[in-house]
Amino acid sequence: MGGPRRLLLVSNSTLHGGGYLGHCQQHIQSFLGQTVKRVLFVPYALHDRDAYARTAREKFESWGYGLDSIHESCDPVEAVRKSEAIFIGGGNTFRLLKALYDNCLIQEIRKRVLEDGIPYVGSSAGTNVATISINTTNDMPIVYPPSLQALGLVPFNINPHYLDPDVKSTHMGETREERIRQYHEEPNTPPVLGLREGAMLLVEGNKATLQGVTGARLFQRGKKPTEHEPGTDFSFLLIDSNLQNL
């Protein structure tokens, strides 16, 4: 049974002063609802997958959901095919994407989310891989996936943990905004949504809404960046980005 795509793309797993997923607990519970009983967790972004799974399992069980970690399955593809909902956690985006390719999960996850309509929750690296590519991740390329192309659940890119320039800083490296501008110097590059920590994007079918406690900064090739507060309707970003770059 299919349905519209349902995504909750969170900038970060932990917000300063809170615990793991504390700032987005109500959003995740509302998103998953009562029909989902078990969540498939993908811990590939961290090296210690067992410890990561224990942390996620403890949290989700405290909310009343069962949690299965895909790394504990002898058949990751079958685990995705049977999943009721998917949660991909944060860590190193290159490590995560490589593992998704290595385990032949890219097309399987796309099918479950885009065709079958199961809920997808991503945090940080898990949000990065939900987009067109991981070109706008903040992470170091500690491993090499076969491609930077990601799940493509939305037709744009996201920069999680987006940081505004600090006018008092003496640091001479590029700001996040400068790095995204460099990305847009290349042709046919899609919009980039800079999600500040505490922000998240809810996608339900063809509607996308900014949620959370902080805003976001939108970068589009050839245009000035724009500021957006929680509640902003970003549905226009769900239009194929190729049309936006003509």
Residues 6 or more apart whose Cβ sits within 8 Å of residue 162: 11, 176, 194, 195, 196, 197, 216, 217
Closest by Cα among 81, 220, 246 to 156: 220
115 CA to centre of own chain = 19
3-state secondary structure 213-244: CCCEEEECCCCCCEEECCCCECHHHHCCHHHH
Q: For residues 113 and 120, is the Cβ–Cβ distance under 8 A?
A: yes
Tell me which amino acid residue 121 is. V
Structure tokens at 175: 């700001």
Q: For residues 92 and 139, is the Cβ–Cβ distance under 8 A?
A: yes
Please pick, among 124, 133, 184, 241, the residue that the annotation labels catalytic. 124
Please pick, among 68, 71, 73, 161, the residue that the annotation labels catalytic. 161
Count the neighbouring beta carbons within 10 Å of the beta carbon of residue 155. 17
d(CA 159, CA 195): 6
Catalytic site includes residue 228: no
Catalytic site includes residue 241: no
Paired residues of 244 in beta bridges: none
Catalytic site includes residue 233: no
Residues with a catalytic annotation lie at 124, 139, 161
